[in-house]
Amino acid sequence: MPASPLLVRPSPPDADGRIHAVTPASAGWTYVGFEVYDLAPGQALRRHTGDQEACIVVLTGRVMARAGETDFGPIGGRASVFEGPGWSLYVPARSAWEVTAEGPAEVAVCLAPAKGTLPARVIPPTEVGEETRGVGANTRHVRNILPDASPHAESLLVVEVVTPAGHWSSYPPHKHDQDNLPHESQLEETYYHRLNPPQGYGMQRVYTDDRSLDESVSFADRDVVLVPKGYHPVGAPHGYDLFYLNVMAGPTRIWRFHNDPAHAWMLG
C-alpha cells in the first residue's frame, strides 16, 4: 500500500543540512512552509525571507543568530526537545537572516506570508508560555512560542507539545478548516514529530465529517504529518514519549477550533 500523501519522511541532508522542505506547492495549500536542518559544528545557514516571515526554532544545540543588521549572539542550548522550552528567532519579511551552529544543531524554519511590519526578535524560553491541557490519558504539555495572543507575528502560529507515553493529544478530535469566525478559523498545519526513545512510532488520524479525507498515519521519529483540513488526533504508544512542533497559518491569525460532535461529550 502506498504511503499516505499526508506523511512526509525526512530525506538525507543536502549541502545545507536540510532534511525537510515542505512548501505550499508541495503540500497543495496556500500558507504554511516548513523546513528542518541538521547543522554540523561551524556550519552556517543563510536565507532571505522574501515575502514570508520566519520563526527559526532551535530544536537542539546552540547557534549564533543574526537577522538584518542585528547580531543576537548565541541562542539555544537544549540537548533534547523533551528538556523544556527552547529558543527561537523571529525574522520579518524582506529580511536576511543567518544562524551558525556552535556544535551539532537541529533547526526548524517555520514560514508563512507576511508584509514585514514587525521587527526581528529573539524569543527566549522565559517568554514561551507553558500550560498543561487535558486530564488522565489525555494530558499533554504545551509550549506556546508564537500563540495567537502574541502580537509578534503577522501570520505564524508556532507551538511545541509534549505528549507522555500512552497519552492522546489534539484530542478530543478538533478541526480548524472553515473561515467562520468567531466560531472557527481556517488554518493549515504541520506536525513535526520526535519520539523518545527514537525507535518508536506514533499514530495520527486526519479525517473530515464526510470522510472524503480519512487517513490513518503511522509516523516515525522526524516525520512530518500534513493537516490541510479535518480533525487530526494523535496517539503516543506505551513506552514512547512524543514531541511535536506545530506550525499553523491561514487567512486570519487566530486559533478557533471546532470539536468533532461525536466525541465532544467527553469534554462535559
Cα–Cα dist 203/61, whole Å: 28
To the question of pTM greater than 0.95 for the whole model, the response is yes
What's residue 134's pLDDT?
93
Structural domain boundaries of the chain? 11-267
- Cβ pair 150, 166 in contact under 8 A: no
3-to-179, 197, 216, 217, 245 alpha-carbon distances in Å: 30, 23, 10, 8, 22
Cα–Cα dist 78/5, whole Å: 32
**Each residue's pLDDT tens digit in the chain (268 positions)?**
568 999 999 999 999 999 999 999 999 999 999 999 999 999 999 999 999 999 999 999 999 999 999 999 999 999 999 999 999 999 999 999 999 999 999 999 999 999 999 999 999 999 999 999 999 999 999 999 999 999 999 999 999 999 999 999 999 999 999 999 999 999 999 999 999 999 999 999 999 999 999 999 999 999 999 999 999 999 999 999 999 999 999 999 999 999 999 999 998 8
Q: What angle do CA 60, 131, 177 make, to 5 degrees?
A: 85
Q: What fold does the segment set 11-267 form as a domain?
A: Jelly Rolls (2.60.120)
What's residue 268's pLDDT?
80
What's residue 1's pLDDT?
56
What's residue 2's pLDDT?
65
Q: Which residue has the cell 478530543?
A: 172
Cα–Cα dist 105/148, whole Å: 28
Cα–Cα dist 20/49, whole Å: 17
- Cβ pair 99, 62 in contact under 8 A: no
- Cβ pair 169, 237 in contact under 8 A: no
> What is the per-residue DSSP string for 61-99?
EEEEEEETTEEEEEEEEES-TTSS--EEEEE-SS-EEEE
What's residue 17's pLDDT?
98
| Residues 6 or more apart whose Cβ sits within 8 Å of residue 135 | none
Cα–Cα dist 2/5, whole Å: 9
